[in-house]
Amino acid sequence: MIENYPHVYIDEIGKYENQDVCLKGWLFNKRSSGKLHFLQVRDGTGFIQAVAFKGDIDPELFTELKHLSQESSLMVYGTVKKDERSPIGFELSIKNVKILNQAEEYPITPKEHGVAFLMDNRHLWLRSKRQHAILRIRAEVIRASRNYFDDRGFILCDTPIFTPSACEGTTNLFEVNYFEDRKAYLTQSGQLYSEATCAALGKVYCFGPTFRAEKSKTRRHLTEFWMIEPEVAYMDLEGDMDLAEDFVVEVVKQVVKNRRPELEVLERDISKLEAIQKPFPRITYDEAIEILNKAGKPVEWGEDFGGDEETVISENFDRPVFIHRYPMQCKAFYMKQDPENAKLALCVDMIGPEGYGELIGGGQREDNMELLISRIEEHNLPMDNFQWYLDVRRYGSVPHAGFGLGIERTVGWICGIHHVRETIPFPRLLDRVTP
């Protein structure tokens, strides 16, 4: 009885050689030649070729399959056969097909489409092989990131999305009405709250969506992106870099180990990922300025680096590079002043290789109450809103540090793709909040 064939997922098909199974999925593509239909079927876990031979199936069904449209939903019953030519090593020899829904004419065909069109159809574009591979790698990056911290005694401590004030700077906040008479802002980073939770729990991390209203239209900027942020009490800048390095090496290692077929779909040069080993070079801001000067891209001391500068710097290294001790003036208010040079902050950025730009921003936090108060004043931030934050200094202040890694930039780098818009299921960009 065909109804009794077990439902099997394509990524496990290898366990069912020569057995009868049922696949539940969608028609990805097809071609026909007289007596044969070759159906490319996908079920979310993978793609497989299912072959219908005229002599094997009901003649009416054979005709129906000829007219089956792309992305029709179907259940395919058949026998799993080993096949050397198949990318997954197996194909299905069809015995019967149940068509659930004959799809309307599908807008995304195997031919080339423009980016704007694909972005308008993002909800359907997700079904393509390339997007399928990217999203599985994204899930792996997130899984590996969570495991990294969970396995090392970090406590996940979620931080709020509605916040009363800025963390990274006031110019790029999304304001929302918080009931009748109050304003709130969508968070730019969980860091300030993680500083409080790390004073309670020692080693913490938060992981959630963050929002930036900056008017940047680049291949590295989203207005909504996901960030994983560890924060550790009694950790200094060196410890912060050690942690960031170990973490990134482990995440890349897990992706290479568990998502090799997906990296191959993306034609990623895997040797470049295998080269991601400790130690990562650590250079100062001043040394980075020298590199830029030599490359004919001078930057005035005191300016932050943009994407172009980061690309030039990254070209000198085959793995991520740390740039530490930026000028205080170009960084956020909470950065700890370098006790050896008051002009510098004990902060660090990790710049990805191959021009992927800043993957991580972080550093040691100002733990001196007086200095922190003067920074809040200098940055014209509302002192009232920061009283709770100052309490972390009032009551048992300790050196502490942390960082934030942007998931989408990291996925973009690991996948070797050009633009972050493909690294998140539904990207939010300067000019796009749909679908």
140 binds, among ligand 4AD, Mg ion, none (CB under 5 to 8 A by kind): none
Residues 375-394 that bind Mg ion (CB under 5 A): none
> How many residues comprise the chain?
435
- H/E stretch holding 289 reads helix 285-294
Question: If contact means CB under 5 to 8 A according to the sort of partner, which of ligand 4AD, Mg ion, none does residue 37 touch?
Answer: none
**Smaller CB separation from ligand 4AD, 95 or 319:** 319
Among the listed residues 407, 410, 406, the one whose alpha carbon sits nearest the alpha carbon of residue 356: 410
96: left (phi over 0), alpha (psi -120 to 50) or beta: beta
What part of residues 194-233 is at the interface with ligand 4AD (CB under 6 A)? 212, 221-222, 225, 227, 229
Instruction: List the one residue out of 224, 261, 250 whose CA is nearest residue 145.
Output: 250
- Residue 322 touches ligand 4AD, criterion: CB under 6 A: no
- Taking the C-alpha atoms of residue 396 and residue 390, their distance in angstroms, rounded to an integer, is 11
Number of residues that bind ligand 4AD (CB under 6 A): 22
| Contact string 229-258 vs ligand 4AD (x = CB under 6 A) | x-----------------------------
Contact between 422 and ligand 4AD per CB under 6 A: no
Tokens of 288: 């980075």
Beta carbon nearer to Mg ion, 190 or 361: 361
Least CB distance to ligand 4AD at residue 113 (A):
25
Q: Does 191 bind ligand 4AD (CB under 6 A)?
A: yes
Site track 354-393 with ligand 4AD (rule: CB under 6 A), x = hit: ----xxxxx-------------------------------
Site string for Mg ion, 77-96 (x = CB under 5 A): --------------------
Q: How far is the CB of 349 from Mg ion (least distance, A)?
A: 6
Q: How far apart are CA 295 and CA 8, in angstroms?
A: 56
Residue by residue, DSSP assigns 158-208 as: ---SEESS-SS-GGGPPEEEETTTEEEEE-S-SHHHHHHHHHHHSEEEEEE
Nearest to 54 by CA among 93, 26, 86, 102: 93
Within the chain, how many helices (H) and strands (E) appear? 13, 18
State the amino acid at position 246 in one-letter form. Answer: D
| Cα–Cα distance for residue pair 383/99, rounded to 1 Å | 64
Query: Closest distance between ligand 4AD and the C-beta of residue 422, in Å?
Result: 13
DSSP state of 334: T
Member of 230, 353, 361, 412 binding Mg ion (CB under 5 A): 361
Cα–Cα distance, 140 to 54 (Å, whole number): 41
Task: Using the rule CB under 5 A, give the single segment among 193-201, 240-248, 356-364, 426-434 that binds Mg ion.
Answer: 356-364
Site for ligand 4AD in 148-167 (CB under 6 A): 167
The reply on whether position 355 binds Mg ion by CB under 5 A is no
In angstroms, what is the minimal distance from the CB of 397 to ligand 4AD? 18
> Which single residue brings its beta carbon nearest to Mg ion?
361
User: In this complex, which beta carbon is closest to ligand 4AD, that of residue 229 or of residue 422?
Assistant: 229
Spatial distance between the Cα atoms of 158 and 209, rounded to a whole number of angstroms:
11
Q: Can you say whether the dihedral through the CA atoms of 405, 411, 417, 422 is positive or negative? A: negative
What is the C-alpha to C-alpha distance for residues 26 and 73, in angstroms, rounded to an integer?
4
The residues that touch Mg ion, with contacts defined as CB under 5 A, are: 361
The residues that touch ligand 4AD, with contacts defined as CB under 6 A, are: 167-168, 189, 191, 212, 221-222, 225, 227, 229, 358-362, 402-404, 406, 408-409, 420
